[in-house]
Amino acid sequence: MSELVIYTMNHCPYCERAKALLRQRGITYREIHVSEDDDAQWEMLHQRSGMRTMPQIFLGEKLLGGYTDLAALDSQDQLTSLRAPESVFVIGAGSIGAYFAARLSKVAAVTLICSEGRTDLWKNGITLGGTEKGHYPIQALSWSQVLTFPSNAYILITTKVFHFPQVLSQVGEHLGSRNHLVLFQNGLRIREEAEKFLSGQTWARAVCWLGARLENPGLVQVAGTSSIDLAGGDAGAQTRLAEIFTQAGLSTAWSADVSLAEWRKALWNVSLNGLCALAGVPNRMALEDPLLKPIFDLLLDEAMTVAQADGVNLTAMDRERVYEATRAMGANLNSTLQDLRAGRMTEMPWLNGSLICLAEKYGVSVPAHRVIHPLVRFREQNSV
């Protein structure tokens, strides 16, 4: 795409309006300031454009005009065609990272960052199976191949929270100007964990209502998707990221309330994951099995009480959203069950473990969670 150049001068309100409009639409430009007494520059511009006012805006050699012309293009929804594809780096080549790398590759310039020596596993791209079908060519790089993230790039961190020390230190070594960090981890108190490594950085929280399993590198089996909630961070940048996800066919919304977004998704994970992992069954059984359903509801009740004590008012609509997601992804084996079967660490310390810590802080009784949590941890310690 040709470079967009805007010529400006001092004390020019229309120049400021033009630049603000371009920023709002996410359009990258190069500004050239012209001094009032630079007669040669003014004459060159006049011969090129026939204009004697500022700003003067060019796309390559083509004159777009001034602010009024730019605003007219915007009113006709023609400015979006000037926007270069956003750069998106997905950190973590697990099921969630691979899924988002694939889906976003249709609308953004996506790079999947994976462990050293594993880039060849992704050279044939990513195939989605299950409820979604498609093949997506992508670029995969290892950390040693990354210099600095480009300006305004989105950095989606999809690794599990216990990998934060290594991953966030690596991210910090490669940050460029105005990068937008987005954390996709399951669990509660992720904010406190992130601040240990991202002090002084602006970042956003993302929670995804998604059921997926990485069958092998390059193949993700999808059991269902519902939506993505973005929260916090720079409002303009995250609103634009929500648009990118939506353009990729993923229903996404942004809000400023990180705690509410985190609790809404955690309500599902703390009530479902441990229960179905211990029973060794897919999600739908939490609703369909007469032995599991009362336990599922009790875990939900306790979690909602802790959320209330934590200052987050979850409603009957949030509870119904948990039921809807469980139905929509009924065939999925949740991440805790997948981890136990694979002999991996689970996220339980940041799921039911964090909920129990909050319950102790506020003096809330959570007997069901106090049973589920150590049972899963016992299974984990005897399988890892």
Tell me which residue has tokens 């959203």. 321
Write the CATH number of the domain with boundaries 4-82: 3.40.30.10
The string of DSSP codes covering 189-239 is SHHHHHHTT-TT--EEEEEEEEEEEEEETTEEEEEEEEEEEEEES-HHHHH
Per the document, the length of the chain is 384
Span 16-46, pLDDT tens digits: 999 999 988 878 888 999 999 999 999 999 9
Question: Rounded mean pLDDT of 63-86?
Answer: 89
Write the CATH number of the domain with boundaries 87-256: 3.40.50.720
Q: In this structure, what are the phi and psi dihedrals at residue 88, rounded to the nearest 5 degrees?
A: -125, 125
Does 180 score more than 90 pLDDT?
A: yes
Reported pTM:
0.80
The domain made up of 262-381 has a fold known as N-(1-d-carboxylethyl)-l-norvaline Dehydrogenase; domain 2 (1.10.1040)
pLDDT band at 1 (very low <50, low <70, confident <90, very high): low
Determine which of 16-25, 298-307, 311-320 has the lowest per-residue pLDDT on average: 16-25
Span 355-374, pLDDT tens digits: 999 999 999 999 999 999 99
Parse the chain into domains and list their residue ranges: 4-82, 87-256, 262-381
So what's the pLDDT on residue 124? 93
Question: Rounded mean pLDDT of 243-260?
Answer: 94
Determine which of 76-90, 110-124, 175-189 has the lowest per-residue pLDDT on average: 76-90
Does 299 score more than 90 pLDDT?
A: yes
Does 233 score more than 90 pLDDT?
A: yes
